[in-house]
């Protein structure tokens, strides 16, 4: 199995990518190899800084075009055909690789993934899944920002996407699905929530636990939280910043104390680098988006998540969950 | 000036209310008095547990009806006319008191406030304002849950309500107004956000700083954050729970260390009891909602905020901000 890694995505590319890829090879089965896509000479120079890697498991594919902030996400496929994003996703589209991982522009990766891999039949729009750390382990939130002004049937699709992801990647046979809302009762919330509640409650294929309020997420009330991408994106960014803010407050205070406390260890549970990137779900292929500021550890975990999703045949499971056959090859 | 306090609202009523009221009298000018509304004998028994209060500044008004969870919020005015919520708000409505403070059922206080005090001309629906602690001080978020499926002109009204509150209660001459959204650019977000952005940007009476993302709130990017009550409520509950979660993680860790660190002091900035309750804005009168689990300190601060809002003639300012005269008496 082959995983494609965009080597030009992070703010410090390709250093974090190369180190992350080399680390990931240690975690993965021997039949998995990684293709670094990007500027060949830049990647080669970075590789020279590391000890040689086991023959045949780390490859480089040249992709000279650079995607910049000036490129509109929707234009990348057409205007930057030799960029790492387009070349990498084309490999997955062609069946030459099982998954794509990138820390490049979220918008560009999302749009190009959609244009190349396409959505599975039965999916209106792909959703971004994000893992939130909670008191009782990871919780998948979707959509985390790919779609706004969602319709009830789209949130219903997200529930199925999350259901399969939680089965295949989180090891849960019957993941608890919650609908993000502002009250517990079925009639609470905005029009979207009330209608979606009806759809989810009537679906025997889902373990729907009902409405989940803002405070319930962190208490671990469910394994998958379904919401419109507007509120999901606000929540995700808010969570990251609140965690940073509180840890900052604390570090300032603790700097006055004599005892050495390893806060990084205390807050490892809040560390997004543990979670392995944000999958784009609902596509006919695997595409995982990482933070632009991802350190090597985050890249390494995202590659592992990509390999697990491929190994578990997640795309086929999603296709069959939605009642239609996908075209992704069995791995 | 007279402030009415619902003495039956908190989970441990009337103990927190009585202690909070007695504390507030120490903070307030000598011409401010407080009326405790609720079951007279219960309040009297609680008062006996405290030293006598300065004559004439603490009163009791009997209100025997009890609002229970079984009462639908909209039915309280009709079915429980002698409840502390209805009796207290009737006093404000009649001009016998300047403000009402309650830790009772949010829905019941909201509905009864609306039915008795009514909205000011130019206001479609009142909004709940909530103070979020941030890295650079308090930030007012509204709407925090009174309204879902808002229209752009309603968010525009919320911006004006927040503008006046921040002027009168937060001491800011030109409060920075932000629109909660999922990107900085004006064209980002859902339909509601895009249209609202246009209205706010075109309004010379507001210091509109543009779109605010989830991560910007806690960094102190603005003084007032405007949003639909759905996302506002999710965010508020999430914030409270994340803060609790992180502090919990930390307490567990720090319990193993030798040094005593006063975490409550570190996190005082995150403590909602500091913020003085959540004002219902846009009504022709002052009504402030507190947490059901409010300790005396939170009640005390809410009473102070109520007195400040009354003293600042906030309702008249809102009415004049919206171009129409309010009926609240000048204090």
Name the closest residue on chain A to residue B247, using Cα atoms.
Answer: A246
Share of chain B above pLDDT 70, in %: 90
Whole-number Å distance between alpha carbons of A165 and B122: 48
pLDDT for position A70: 87
- CB-nearest to B231 from A218, A234, A261 is A234
DSSP A20: H
Confidence label for A273 from pLDDT (cuts 50, 70 and 90): low
Please count the other Cβ atoms lying within 10 Å of the Cβ belonging to residue A174.
11
Residues of chain B contacting A239 with CB distance shorter than 8 Å: 214, 238, 242
What's A65's DSSP letter? B
Helix B40-47 × helix B15-27 angle, to 10°: 60
Position B124 scores a pLDDT of 94
Cβ contacts of B258 on chain A, cutoff 8 Å? 259
Q: Which of A79-88, A260-269, A278-287, B222-231 has the lowest mean pLDDT?
A: A260-269
CA A164/CA B135 separation, integer angstroms: 39
CB contact under 8 A, A145 and B182: yes
Chain A nearest CA to B225, separation (Å): 12
Task: Name the band, by pLDDT with cuts 50, 70 and 90, for residue A185.
Answer: very high
pLDDT of residue A326: 46
Residue A261 clears pLDDT 90, i.e. is over it: no
What does pLDDT average to over chain B? 91
d(CA A123, CA A113): 14
The yes-or-no verdict on residue B257 having pLDDT over 70 is: no
Checking ipTM against 0.85, whether it exceeds it is yes
> Above 60 in pLDDT, residue B241?
yes
- Give the integer Cα–Cα distance in Å for B38 and A205: 50
In this predicted structure, what is the pLDDT of residue A133?
86
List of chain A residues whose C-beta atoms are within 8 Å of the C-beta of residue B250: 250, 266
Give B-chain residues touching A218 at CB under 8 angstroms: 238, 241-242, 244-245
The CA distance from A224 to the nearest CA of chain B, in Å, is: 16
Nearest residue in chain A measured CA to CA from B254: A261
pLDDT confidence band for B326 (50 / 70 / 90) = very low
Q: Which residues of A41-52 are buried (b: 16+ CB within 10 A; e: fewer)?
A: ebbeebbeeeee
Q: Average pLDDT, stretch A262-286? A: 78
User: Of B189, B249, B259, which has the smallest distance from its Cβ to A269's Cβ?
Assistant: B249
Contact across the interface for A250 and B250, Cβ inside 8 Å = yes
CB atoms within 10 A of CB A331: 17
Per the CB < 8 A criterion, the answer to whether A217 and A137 are in contact is no
Instruction: Give the pLDDT score at B242.
Output: 85
**Interchain CB distance below 8 Å, A230 and B266:** no
Which pLDDT value is given to residue B43? Answer: 97
Q: How many CB pairs under 8 A join A and B?
A: 142
Map residue B6 onto helix, strand or coil. strand
- Residue B329 has a pLDDT of 53
Residues of chain A contacting residue B148, judged by C-beta atoms under 8 Å apart: 182, 189-191
pLDDT at B92 over 90: yes
The DSSP secondary-structure symbol of A136 reads T
Rounded CA-CA distance A223/A163 in Å is: 9
The distance of A244 to chain B (nearest Cα, Å) reads: 9
Chain-chain contact of B217 with A241 (C-beta, under 8 angstroms) = yes
Of A190, A247, A265, nearest to B148 by CB-CB distance is A190
> Does the pLDDT value for residue A269 go beyond 70?
no
**B131: closest CA among B166, B180, B172, B175?**
B166
| Structure confidence at residue A137 as a pLDDT band (50, 70, 90) | confident
Q: In A, which residues are within 8 Å of B70 by CB distance?
A: none
The alpha-carbon gap from B149 to the nearest alpha carbon of chain A, in Å, equals 6
Q: Work out the minimum CA distance from A230 to partner chain B, whole angstroms.
A: 6
Q: Does B240 sit within 8 Å of A235, measured CB to CB? A: no
Q: How far apart are CA A192 and CA B149, in angstroms?
A: 9
DSSP lists the bridge partners of residue B225 as B141, B178
Which residue out of A195, A225, A242 would a mutagenesis test of the B interface target, given it has the greatest number of B Cβ atoms within 10 Å?
A: A242
**Residue located via tokens 């079915």:** B79
Q: Considering only CA atoms, which of A308, A303, A295, A294 is closest in space to residue A104?
A: A294
Residue A106, φ and ψ in degrees, nearest 5: -55, -45
Residue B14 has pLDDT above 90, yes or no: yes
Q: How far is CA A323 from the centre of its chain?
A: 24
Q: Do B182 and A234 touch (CB under 8 A)?
A: yes
Strand blocks (E) in A202-254:
207-212, 224-226
Closest chain B C-alpha to A325 CA, distance in angstroms: 32
Chain B residues with beta carbon closer than 8 angstroms to that of A266: 249-250, 253
A65 contacts: CB under 8 Å, gap ≥ 6: A80, A81, A82, A83, A84, A86
| B50 φ/ψ angles, rounded to the nearest 5 degrees | -115, 155
Domains of chain B, first to last: 1-123+282-295 (3.40.718.10), 124-274 (3.40.718.10)
pLDDT for A216 beyond 70? yes
pLDDT, mean of residues A157-179: 97
How many other C-beta atoms lie within 10 A of the C-beta of residue B279?
29
Model pTM score = 0.91
Min Cα distance B129 → chain A (Å) is 16
* Cβ distance of B261 and A240 shorter than 8 Å: no
Chain A residues within 8 A of B217 when measuring between CB atoms: 238, 241
| Confidence (pLDDT) at A275 | 75
User: Rounded to an integer, what distance in angstroms lies between the CA atom of residue A158 and that of residue A231?
Assistant: 14
CB contact under 8 A, B219 and A234: no
- Which residue among A135, A243, A257 places its CB closest to the CB of B261? A257
* Contact check, Cβ <8 Å, A230/B235: no
| pLDDT for the residue numbered B268 | 64
Structural contact between residues A110 and A116, judged by C-beta atoms closer than 8 angstroms = no
Query: Which chain A residues touch B216 with a CB distance below 8 Å?
Result: 241
């Amino acid at each position: 199995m082959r995983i494609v890694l965009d080597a030009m995505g992070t703010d410090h590319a390709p250093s974090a990518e190369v180190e992350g890829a080399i680390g990931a090879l240690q975690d993965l089965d021997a039949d998995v190899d990684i293709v670094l896509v990007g500027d060949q000479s830049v990647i080669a120079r970075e590789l020279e800084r590391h000890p040689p890697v086991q023959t045949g498991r780390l490859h480089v594919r040249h992709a000279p075009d650079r995607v910049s902030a000036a490129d509109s996400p929707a234009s990348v496929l057409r205007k930057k055909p030799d960029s790492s994003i387009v070349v990498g996703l084309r490999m997955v589209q062609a069946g030459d690789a099982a998954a794509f991982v990138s820390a490049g522009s979220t918008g560009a990766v999302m749009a190009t993934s959609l244009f190349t891999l396409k959505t599975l039949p039965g999916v209106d729009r792909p959703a971004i899944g994000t893992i939130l750390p909670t008191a009782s382990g990871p919780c998948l939130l979707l959509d985390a920002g790919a779609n706004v002004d969602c319709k009830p049937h789209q949130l219903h699709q997200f529930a199925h996407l999350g259901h399969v992801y939680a089965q295949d990647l989180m090891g849960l046979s019957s993941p608890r699905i919650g609908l993000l809302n502002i009250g517990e009762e079925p009639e609470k919330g905005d029009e979207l929530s009330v209608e979606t509640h009806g759809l989810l409650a009537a679906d025997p294929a889902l373990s729907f636990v009902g409405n989940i309020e803002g405070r319930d997420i962190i208490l671990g009330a469910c394994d998958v939280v379904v919401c419109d991408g507007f509120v999901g994106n606000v929540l995700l960014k808010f969570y990251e910043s609140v965690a940073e803010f509180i840890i900052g407050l604390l570090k300032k205070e603790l700097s006055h104390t004599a005892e050495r406390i390893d806060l990084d260890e205390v807050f490892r549970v809040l560390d997004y680098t543990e979670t392995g990137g944000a999958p784009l779900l609902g596509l006919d292929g695997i595409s995982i988006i990482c933070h632009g500021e991802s350190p090597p550890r985050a890249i390494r975990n995202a590659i592992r998540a990509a390999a697990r999703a491929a190994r578990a045949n997640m795309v086929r499971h999603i296709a069959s969950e939605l009642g239609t056959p996908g075209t992704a090859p069995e791995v």
